[in-house]
Amino acid sequence: MLVYAKLLLTAFFWGGTFIAGRVVSRSMDPYAAAFLRFAIASVFLLGLILIKEGKLVSISLKQLFFVILLGMTGVFAYNIFFFSGLHTVVAGRASIIIALNPIAISILSSIIFKEKLTVLKLFGILISVTGALVVITFGDLSSIFSDPIGKGELFIFGCVVSWVSYSLIGKMVMSNLSPLVSVAYSALAGAIALSVPAFTRGMADVIIGYSAEEWISLFYLGFFGTVLGFYWYYQALNTVGPMKSSVFINFVPVSAIILAMVLLNEPVTVSLLVGAALVLSGVLLTNFSGLLVTWLKKRL
C-alpha cells in the first residue's frame, strides 16, 4: 500500500508543478527554467545516491545510452514542451491534454510489456479520465471543444508523447538499474543537454534578476516535482508496472484545482467533488480489479 500512497503524493506534487510552472514561464526563458529545475534536482538526486550507496554507481555503455534516451525524452523534450506550452496555455487546459497519458501508457504497456488490459481496467481508466475532465471543466465537458487548438496546446501534446516514451523506456531500463539511479542519471543527462540552449540564450545575464517567487517555484519544481515525484513514480513503475502507475496521473488536475483553492482561496465546487470521486473510483478499479473479481466470484 505504501507504493500507492507515494503515487498519490506524487500526483499532488505534479499538480503543483502547473502552478509553479506558470509562475516561472511568465518571464523566464523555457530552456533556462527547465535547466535550473533539473540542475537543482540533480544535486539532490546525486546526493541521495552518495548517501545510500556511498559512491556514484557506475553504468555500462549500453545503460548510458538508455539513460541519455531517458534524459532526452522525460527531461529535455518534456520540459521544453511543458514550459513553452504553459507560456500561452492555462494550467487547467494543459491538464486536460496531460490526462491522455494514462490511456496511451496503458494501451502501449499491454502491447509492449504484455500487461493484461482487462475490460474492468479499461473501464477504470476511462472513469478516471472522465473524472479528471469533470474537475478541469467544472462539469461542462463541452467546453473542451470551445476553444481552437493552438501552438501552446501542441506543445502540451508534445509533453504526452515525451512522458509516454519516458515511462515505457524507464520500465526497460529498471531491469538493470534501480529507480534512484535511473532517475538521477537521466535528470543529470537532461540538465546537461538543457544547459547548452539555456546559456546560449542568455540565462547567465538575467539569472541574478530572478525574483524570490521564481526561485521558490524553481525549488518546488526541482525537489518536489522531480526528486520526490520522479523517484516515487519510477519506484511504482518497477513495482506495479506502467499501467497501474500511470492512472494516478489523473489525480494531477484534481490536485492542481485543490492547490489553487488553498493558495488562491477558490471555493470547493460540486464538480470537484464529483470529479475526484470518479478519479478515485477509476484508480481503485484499475489497480484492484483482480481483487474485485475474486470477491465477486466468492459471493456468487
66 Cβ contact partners less than 8 Å away, ≥ 6 residues apart: 169, 172, 173
Judge contact between 192 and 68, C-beta under 8 A. Answer: no
How far is CA 184 from its chain centroid?
A: 16
Predicted confidence (pLDDT) per residue in 158-171, tens digit: 888 898 888 888 87
> SS3 string of 23-69?
HHHCCCCHHHHHHHHHHHHHHHHHHHHHHHHCCCCCCCHHHHHHHHH
Q: Please, what sign has the CA dihedral across residues 207, 209, 214, 220?
A: positive
Q: Residue 51: pLDDT above 70?
A: yes
pLDDT in the model for residue 262: 74
Residue 162 neighbours by CB distance under 10 Å: 21
Average pLDDT over residues 269-290: 70
Banded pLDDT at 24 (limits 50, 70, 90): confident
pLDDT in the model for residue 140: 76
Span of 33-47, 54-68, 246-260, 282-296 with lowest mean pLDDT? 282-296
Q: pLDDT: is 124 or 227 the higher one?
A: 227
Rounded Cα distance between 86 and 166, Å, is 20
How far is CA 202 from its chain centroid?
A: 28
75 Cβ contact partners less than 8 Å away, ≥ 6 residues apart: 34, 38, 166, 186, 187, 189, 190, 191, 193, 194
Tell me what percent of the chain is helix, strand and coil, each rounded to the nearest 5: 85, 0, 15
Predicted confidence (pLDDT) per residue in 203-238, tens digit: 998 899 899 999 999 999 999 998 998 888 888 877
Banded pLDDT at 134 (limits 50, 70, 90): confident
Percent of the chain beyond pLDDT 70? 79
Predicted confidence (pLDDT) per residue in 59-89, tens digit: 999 899 999 999 999 889 988 888 788 777 6
Q: pLDDT: is 68 or 247 the higher one?
A: 68
Banded pLDDT at 176 (limits 50, 70, 90): confident
What value does the mean pLDDT of the chain take? 80
Q: Say which DSSP state 113 is in.
A: S
The ranges assigned to domains in the chain are 2-299
How far is CA 77 from its chain centroid?
A: 13
pLDDT in the model for residue 49: 92
Judge contact between 28 and 214, C-beta under 8 A. Answer: yes
pLDDT in the model for residue 12: 86
Q: Residue 288: what residue type?
A: F
Q: Residue 187: pLDDT above 80?
A: yes
pLDDT in the model for residue 287: 60
